[in-house]
Structure 1
Amino acid sequence: MAFCANVDSYYNYRISLPANAVFLAIFSLSFLAFAAVYGATRKGLGFTVAMLLGVACEIIGYVGRVMSWENQWQENGFLIQIVCLTIGPAFLAAGVYLCLRRIVYAFGPENSRIPPEYYTRIFIPCDVISLVLQATGGGMASVASHNNDPVETGDNIMIAGLSFQVLTLLVFIICCIDFAVRAGTRHRRLGAAAFDQDAAALKLRGSWLFRGFLVALGLATIGIFWRSVYRVAELSRGWSGPLMYRQDLFIGFEGVMIAVACLVLNVFHPSLCFKELMDGAGGIGSKKKARKAAEVVEAREGKSEPVSDVERQSL
């Protein structure tokens, strides 16, 4: 295949086939790993769906870049990669957000400034807003580019979505740090009593898998955050800005950051690291089950019907 070095393309650099093929292989294996863990455990459906959607976007995006290697003057490959690789990490961020409330349950909700369920209620809607803005802007910019119209409006909407994602991630990081500080402060003051003393929680906190997951989640969060900051800077000057023409920065801050985020969560998957909490406290249906059980007990006792300890545990 011929390469016209002196003719401007959508990239203004020669796309590296080895680098993009490696990322395509990594994300394909990551997709299979997330699907396999769910198939084996049947736990963490919300987390799995979010991660699979995010990794699928990464796969499609790198397919677009491989298409561009074959012909980087062709529009389709460029549009595929810029849209899919822009919105993919928003799904990955949603998976990260879903994990925090379970971590709070593992240490005890009393260590959190807000109820554990509110982490999901706050951050998931924010992530949806970010995703909608990015997808809408990407779609508008793609249509405009295809019609040879200005792409500034769509690009600005994409930047707004990315900026909102950066803000959401920053607030999430602050909440994580706040929870860690509060838990540490209470532990220094109260000792072991500061944390949940349930046998399952004690065993979980002492496991190396759970500790490894905490580190992995921190790395994934930082990776997605750093990548999002980079993409805001990259797109801030439009599709012809100076950062758009730096393949080295793209590989380092887009490819490597997201690959690390996915791989560490493949290795320290929450369904493997704290499966005790995936269906129990912190699980999706736990609060409803607890409320229903309390209502049953209250109704029985209101009718002067004693409820044995065995029955309470079964509820």
Structure 2
Amino acid sequence: MTSSTDYTLGRYSRAFLTNEPSLVGNIIFIALFAVLIPLALGLGVKYRSSVFATTITTGLALEVVGYVGRFLLRDNPTGRTDFILFLVGTILGPAFICGAIFLVMPHIVTVYGDDFRSWRPVWYQLLLYALTAASIVLELAGGLVSTMQDTRVKADIGIHVLTTGLAIQLVSLAIFVGHAVLFAIAVRTRHHALDIKFAGIYNSGSFKTFLLAFSFATCLLVVRTAFRTVVIAEGYDSSIAQSETLLFILDGLMVLLATLILLAFFPGRILGQSWSQASSHRVSRALPERIQAPPYELPSAQSSPTYNRMGTKHPVVSYSPKKSNYTESLPQRNLVDHEALW
């Protein structure tokens, strides 16, 4: 009977890599992910999207590290360090790219207007960003424990933690998709007005194409995360984990295509002013800036020779934004063209 101490990392590594890693396949992914790093940084500088570009770049760099680790496993299939590089790099890289797409949605909302928002911004940030941070921590911890422990019991604990992190990442993507769907329904069904400030964006063909591309990139990341969750849950020595073809197609290719789409339709370029002025636009839409002075000034009673403090009644001016004279003074705004905007 085999004892638990016999399940060393080396055996896990060999079980996971039953077939020798592809030389050409791994080099291609290393080269493609590496080439996109300076492109992402350049676009971030050009369009003042440093946070988005940095998040994308971090994910790309981790993908490069992951496939370098897998490439090194060709010569040393039982190497613990190389296996850690492969596992952690290819697990955490897409997590950062998922975090990058979460940064885009608030700016899309800004283009259409806060009237269509289904959630408060603070809840959106707390929930999705907290889930992303939790998934990254659990994935890193689970990946290290499952590979650095020499006993199967401890390694299995690490696998469970890693699977939990991937499941949280999948849940965050599902919540994000649900939020986007509710927002799309609101745009098509609610009869709110749009500020003409961003008319050049939401009426442009590039923006409509961007929405389709952005949705497709999100779906690719959902497929990748679901696949990798199943792979890790089945164990490193499972048949699905041993298939390099499935890994390349349902993991590497999905992440690569999603990143290419995000860079080809770079949000900072497509969304223009709404990307750099999201916070100021929310302030400009506030009601106090629309309020105008009363239509006339009260006469100065004290300057009148017939002034009587006890007998004079000051007229009361009723001011309500619901009155027609108020609404007519508002800036002209365009109504939503539901069929054309989404």
SS of match in other structure, 2:218: helix
1:15 and 2:12 correspond: no
Q: Distance in 2 between matches of 1:46 and 1:40?
A: 13
State the Cα distance separating 1:76 from its structure 2 match: 2.3
Contact 1:101 1:117 in 2 (8 A): no
Q: Distance in 2 between matches of 1:8 and 1:48?
A: 37
Match in the other structure for 2:90: 85
SS of match in other structure, 1:166: helix
Counterpart pick for 2:115 among 110, 123, 131: 110
Counterpart pick for 1:161 among 165, 170, 186: 165
Match in the other structure for 1:198: 196
1:276 and 2:282 correspond: no
1:173 and 2:171 correspond: no
Q: Distance in 2 between matches of 1:94 and 1:137?
A: 19
Q: Deviations over 1:287-313 (max 9, x none)?
A: 6x769xx79x9xxxxxxxxxxxxxxxx
Q: Distance in 2 between matches of 1:100 and 1:218?
A: 11
Aligned residue runs from structure 1 range 219-230, under 5 A: 219-230=216-227
Higher helix share: 1
Counterpart pick for 1:38 among 34, 44, 50: 44
- Matching residue's letter, 2:202: R
Superposition misfits of 4+ residues, deviation over 6 angstroms = none
Aligned residue runs from structure 1 range 44-193, under 5 A: 44-145=49-150, 150-186=154-190, 190=191
SS of match in other structure, 2:103: helix
- Percent of aligned positions that are identical: 23
Q: Deviations over 1:76-117 (max 9, x none)?
A: 222211111111111111110111111111111111212345
Q: CA RMSD in A?
A: 2.6
Q: 1:67 to 1:109 in 2, by over 3 A?
A: same
State the Cα distance separating 1:131 from its structure 2 match: 0.8
- Matching residue's letter, 1:243: I
Match in the other structure for 1:300: none
TM-score using structure 1 length: 0.81
Q: Distance in 2 between matches of 1:167 and 1:149?
A: 27
- Matching residue's letter, 1:196: L
Contact 1:162 1:231 in 2 (8 A): yes
Question: How many residues end up aligned between the 2 structures?
Answer: 279
Q: Distance in 1 between matches of 2:99 and 2:24?
A: 30
Larger RCO, structure (CA 8 Å, separation 6 or more): 2
Q: 1:290 to 1:46 in 2, by over 3 A?
A: farther
Match in the other structure for 2:325: none
- Matching residue's letter, 2:144: G
- Matching residue's letter, 1:126: L
Which structure 1 residue ranges, 5 or more long, are not aligned?
1-6, 298-315
